[in-house]
């Protein structure tokens, strides 16, 4: 998958005091962000990843008023969370909150994504379709002030159905039919708007047979 590159001039890296460096090391456990490239001169500080989770995001009630009233939309699928540190440049400066916001906004637009809601210039929610799937997320300043923001937060979900791991056994099916005259099956999947059963339904179908 081609990632979205953050636009703008690349900041020059500068040596940090020893105490600051110890707090701003790259976290080797963090996998690359699936949507955006890292902001220039930033490091993955902490991260989370889940095979399946729900992400609740703000969405403008009126698409023409991105910063106006909003409702909530929930999306489920593979989940990523990042909290990045932005190191100071050669002039001992970090980007402003607006600089971070505008960089990601421009990168999103250039890649054909859609901004769903903006919280001032602090953060925004978005949706973007990529060859690897449909991504919904939030990005923006995670800590700092309007003039100096040295933390960036990402929450991302790639929309997908959960892979059903638990299958009702044949014995349980028989018992349910005997006790209640019916049985409810989980783990049978269809493509959207189609009547074709997907291959991942096979374990449940085998127990039914």
Identify the pLDDT of residue 190.
67
Share of the chain above pLDDT 90, in %: 44
* Distance of alpha carbon 38 from alpha carbon 147, whole angstroms: 20
pLDDT recorded at residue 68: 86
pLDDT of residue 90: 86
- The pLDDT of residue 201 is 66
In the predicted model, what is the mean pLDDT of the chain?
Answer: 81
Cβ–Cβ < 8 Å for 139, 123: yes
pTM above 0.85, yes or no: no
Radius of gyration of the chain (CA): 22
**Letter string b/e over residues 44-53, b meaning 16 or more CB atoms within 10 A of that residue's CB:** bbebeeeeeb
CA-to-CA separations, 59 to 36, 56, 67, 118, in angstroms, rounded: 20, 10, 9, 9
Lowest mean pLDDT among 8-12, 82-86, 153-157, 162-166: 8-12
CB-CB contact of 135 with 109 (8 Å): no
Question: How far apart (Å, rounded) are the C-alpha atoms in residues 59 and 69?
Answer: 8
């Amino acid at each position: 998958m081609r990632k979205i590159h953050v636009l703008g001039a690349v900041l020059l890296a500068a040596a940090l005091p020893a105490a600051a460096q110890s707090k701003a090391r790259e976290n080797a456990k963090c996998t690359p962000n699936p949507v955006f490239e890292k902001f220039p001169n930033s490091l993955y500080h902490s991260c989370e990843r889940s095979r399946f989770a729900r992400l609740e995001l703000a969405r403008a009630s009126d698409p023409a008023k991105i910063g106006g009233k909003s409702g909530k939309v929930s999306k489920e699928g593979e989940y990523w969370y990042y909290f990045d540190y932005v190191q100071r440049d050669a002039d001992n400066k970090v980007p402003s909150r607006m600089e971070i916001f505008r960089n990601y906004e421009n990168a999103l637009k250039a890649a054909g994504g859609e901004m769903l809601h903006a919280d001032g210039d602090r953060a925004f929610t978005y949706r973007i379709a990529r060859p690897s799937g449909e991504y919904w997320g939030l990005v923006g300043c995670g800590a700092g002030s309007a003039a100096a923001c040295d933390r960036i937060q990402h929450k991302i979900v790639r929309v997908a159905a959960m892979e059903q791991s638990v299958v009702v056994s044949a014995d349980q099916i028989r018992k349910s039919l005997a006790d209640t005259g019916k049985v409810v099956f989980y783990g049978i999947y269809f493509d959207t708007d189609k009547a074709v059963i997907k291959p991942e339904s096979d374990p449940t179908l085998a127990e039914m047979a």
